[in-house]
Every structure is written in C-alpha cells, then in structure tokens.
Structure 1
Amino acid sequence: MRLTITHETVYRYAQPVNYSIQHIRLTPLSGASQTILNWRLDCPGRTYRQTDAFGNIMHVLVIDSAHQEIRIQVTGEAQTTDNLGVLADGADVLPREVFLRPTPLTAPDAAIRDFARPLSASFEKDALDGLHVLSRAVGAAVEYRGGGTDVESTAAEVLAQGFGVCQDQTHLFLAAARLLGAPARYVSGYVHVEDVDEVQTASHAWAEAWVANLGWVSFDVTNAVCPTDAHLRLAVGVDYLGCAPLRGVRRGGGDETMRVEVEVHQ
C-alpha cells in the first residue's frame, strides 16, 4: 500500500519562550515492512539529526530566541507491505532483555499481575497464541475511549479505570507480556483506516513482542489486528516516553496550548 502522511503539531504560548528544545521522532526508517519514498521535516530553528539508543532517527530542535509558537510539520510517502505482523529485518540495536524491564508507565501492580496470571497457561503452551489471547484480553479490559488519560497515565491506572486510548492499551499489553516472559516494546506510527477521511488528532501506537524462532510480532490492540500494510512504523521504545513523536523542555512561556492534525491517505 502506498501511504501519504501529513502530520502537523503547533505549540502556542501565552508569553514569550526564551529557549526551547524538542526531541523529534517523526522520521521513519525503511525496513522489512516499509520503504520510505520521500519524507520531509519542516520546523523553525536549528535541527540536529542523530540516532537514539533504540535505533530511531531523532532530530533535536533548538530555538534560542524569543518565540510564542512552534510549528512542526512532516509530509511524506511510503510503500508498505503486509508481513502478517512479523518483523525479521536484521539484528536488534539493543539486547532483547532490555524490553523485559518494567518502566514507570508499565510497572505491574497487583491488579496487573492478577490480570496476567490466567494467561500464563496459554502463553507457555504456545507463545504466539498466548500473545494473541493477551491482545484480546487487553482490548476487553480497556475500552478505547478518549478524554480520560494523558501521557503520564500508567498501565495500572488504565486497567483500574477500564478505558483509555491506544497508548494506554499498549502500555497494559507491555506490562502483561513482560510478566509472561516476552520481551515487548512500544511502537509509535500511523494507521490508515478505510473510509475514514477526517483529520485525526494524534498518531497511533501498538506493541511488538518477541517470539522465539519467529521474531518480533506486532499487535494492534485498538484495531484488534496484527498490523498490516495499513500501518507505518515511526519509532520504538520501552514505552511511550522512549519514542514519543515530540518531547521537549522550555524556559518561559506561561500557559501552553497544542494542536495536532494527522492525515493518512492511500
């Protein structure tokens, strides 16, 4: 599938910001499931391209003059392939054991342990089937609904609440998969939804878990599928904070508003 992406984020501040830095992970890599045909990042100030610890392309944006707005836009095209959710495109940058450790956003509490425990039998019998069971269980336990969580919401909070967005469902999947013994990582990206043309207000998120003799297998809890050629990967990390599309700090500015518009077309 040939996907065309437009993603714009605009920050506005009540007072002038004297200095700001943004870490931008909005440039995808070509791999087994996707070939980047063209990609452009437009933003104010100086940018420095580097590769982060997880192998993602990251641009560091520095603005050291007074400003009350930051507008960051990416546009690009990619050719994607349906690999049935399986990635086998070379050696990992980090040992897989890195993706077994809990993080503040995915740390399991007693409720998550109770949630994962009944799934262990199916996982031990067949890891791949067990992960599919887990994905369905997360979708049943956490209804997709916006407005009740933010980027600091933890997997434990989301399970207790019973609803959240793709980020929250992915964090719960990661927490439980790691308890079961499967290295699991967070993926940020985009998804094309058939017959949906309206502008989205966020990018997408899903999980990848390691299965022996197969590789990394992707699970999109929100859409109840293994990612297909409708998905485009941006970055991976141990959780959202490890591969957030934008993450920054500033000096000054007072109150902040943020507007995000994402369009994914075939």
Structure 2
Amino acid sequence: MRIRISHTISYDYAEPARHITQILRLTPRDHDGQHVMSWRIEPSVDGRLRATQDAHGNIVHSFYAEGPISSLGIRIDGLIETIDLAGVVRGGLERVPCDVYRRETLLTEQDEALRSFADEVTAGAATPLSQMHALMAAVGDRMNCVDASGRSSVGAIAAFAAQEAIAQDMAHVFMACARHLGMPARCVSGYVAQSDDLPHGNGAHAWAEVHLDDYGWIGFDCANGLCPIDTHVRVAVGLDFADAAPVRGSRQGGEGENLKVLVSAREAEGRFANQ
C-alpha cells in the first residue's frame, strides 16, 4: 500500500514568543515493511532545522527560532510504501540491546491489578507469541480507546483503573503486562491509514512491540485489535511514549498558546500514488 500522510501542527500565541525550540520525532525510517518514498518537514518561520539520531535510533529534528514569533506552523508531508508482514519488524536499525526494553518507566509502572490481569489472561497460552495475542485481545476487551484530542498520557496504572485510555496508554498497559511476563516491550509512535476495517485509523497513532526469541520484534495494536499491517507506518520507538512523542518543545514568552493539530493518513490515489 502507498500511504499519503499530511500532518500540520499550528501554534498561535497571544504574546509573541522570544525563542522557540521544537524536538521533532516525525521522520520514519526504512525497514522491510516500509519504504519512505518522500518526506518533508517544513516550518512556517525562519529558523535552524538540524537532524540527529537519539539513543533508540529515531531520526530527530531540532528546530530553533528567534522571535518575536506570534504563530508557528510545522507541516509534514510524506509518501510511504508499506508491506503487510503481520506485525513482524525486520531490517530496521536497532541501536540498543532488546533487554533495555525490559526497564520499567513512570508511564509503564505495574501494580497488583495489572500483574494479576496479565497472569490471568495469559494462563492458558502455550507459547510466548500466543500469550501476547491473548494479552492484546484482553486489553482491547477490557479498555475503551478514546480520542487523543486535548488529552495526555496518564500511565498504565491510571489508565487500566479507568478502563478507558488514549492509544498510547493502551500501549502502556500492554507493555507493563508484557514486561511483568518477562518480555522486552517498547512503545511505537506512527500513523495508521484510514480503513473501513480499523476503528482507529486516518491519523497519528501509537502501539506496542514485544521482542520474542523466535521472531524478533512484533507489533501489537491493542486499540485496533491486531498486529500492525500495511495500514501502519512506524515513526519512532522508545521505553514509553515520552521517548517516542512526535513533538516536544519549549519557548520563552509566548503566553496564551493555542495549539491545533490536523493529521491525515490515507491510501494514495491518482497522481500521488506514483510520486
């Protein structure tokens, strides 16, 4: 599948900002399941855009601009060709040993409720892979995925107790349970293309990956109830969503910030499909 992605982040400030720094994890890498055909990040104001890599191997752009700045827009346009590998991730850049992803973080802390849940729902599974499929299904049945607009991560414990969460916190719940069961687990930020078969598509998304000895890294999308297919575009990974968040930033001044985000991820058609 060829997926056209359009992602616009707009800031307006009641008081102009004197300086702005944006850390952008918004650029995907090639692997066996996806090929980046074109990708562009374009800020609306003059500044310095510098590309580096972080400890997880994510492509990171740092954008610096001096004010006064009353508004800032960041536009991302890209075309990705994807292949359905049933969630298996092969041919990607791995910067750290998989055991690093056994570490607990503030967003993936476990409590007795999570540990008991993980043990209960995987008790009848014969293999680590079947355990993870059982866990994905159970998280999806137990929790309701809600729209991320205006919400931020609360972490696995709070999300599990509430029985509803944004996609990244459903991933955190899955990861906390998987780590309790002894599996390395990490969070993925990316996009999911619009599909009639997926309840949560056409936009930014998050899911989990688990490392299994016989397969390597495999993705599990609890919100959509499946292992990632050719509708999914991987962008960044981390110990939790904070490591893989698309945008983080700081500013001097700029009081009265108003943020708007528009994201579209759709199968490319017509002239776009051949670009």
For residue 149 of structure 1, report the CA deviation from its aligned partner.
7.9
The answer for unaligned runs of 5 or more in structure 1 is none
Match of 2:142? Answer: 141
Q: How does 1:1-266 map to 2 (within 5 A)?
A: 1-43=1-43, 44=45, 45-89=47-91, 92-122=94-124, 125-146=126-147, 150-195=151-196, 203-266=204-267
Aligned residues of 2:122 and 2:135 also touching (Cα < 8 A): no
Cα separation, 1, equivalents of 2:236 and 2:188: 6
The DSSP-based 3-state class of the residue aligned with 1:194 is coil
- Give the TM-score taking structure 1 as reference length: 0.93
In 1, Cα distance between the equivalents of 2:222 and 2:205? 11
Q: Give, as a single letter, the amino acid of the residue that structure 1 aligns with 2:215.
A: L
Q: Residue type of the partner of 1:231? A: H
CA distances 1:184-220 after superposition (whole Å, capped 9, x unpaired): 1111111112259xxx895111111011121101111
Q: Distance in 2 between the 1:2 and 1:147 partners?
A: 25
CA distance in 1, matches of 2:26, 2:16: 26
Gaps of 5+ in 2: 268-275
Q: Percent identity?
A: 37
SS at match of 1:178: helix
1:11-66 deviation digits (Å, cap 9, x = unpaired): 12221111121100111111110000011110132111001110010000111221
Q: In structure 2, what is the Cα distance between the partners aligned to 1:145 and 1:33?
A: 28
Q: How many residues align?
A: 262
SS of 2:67's equivalent? coil
Task: Report the secondary structure of 1:262's partner residue.
Answer: strand
Alignment CA distance shift 1:8-1:238 (3 Å): same
Shift of 1:68: 2.0
The CA RMSD over aligned residues, in Å, is 1.9
Q: How many angstroms apart in 2 are the aligned matches of 1:183 and 1:252?
A: 41
- 3-state secondary structure, aligned to 1:228: coil
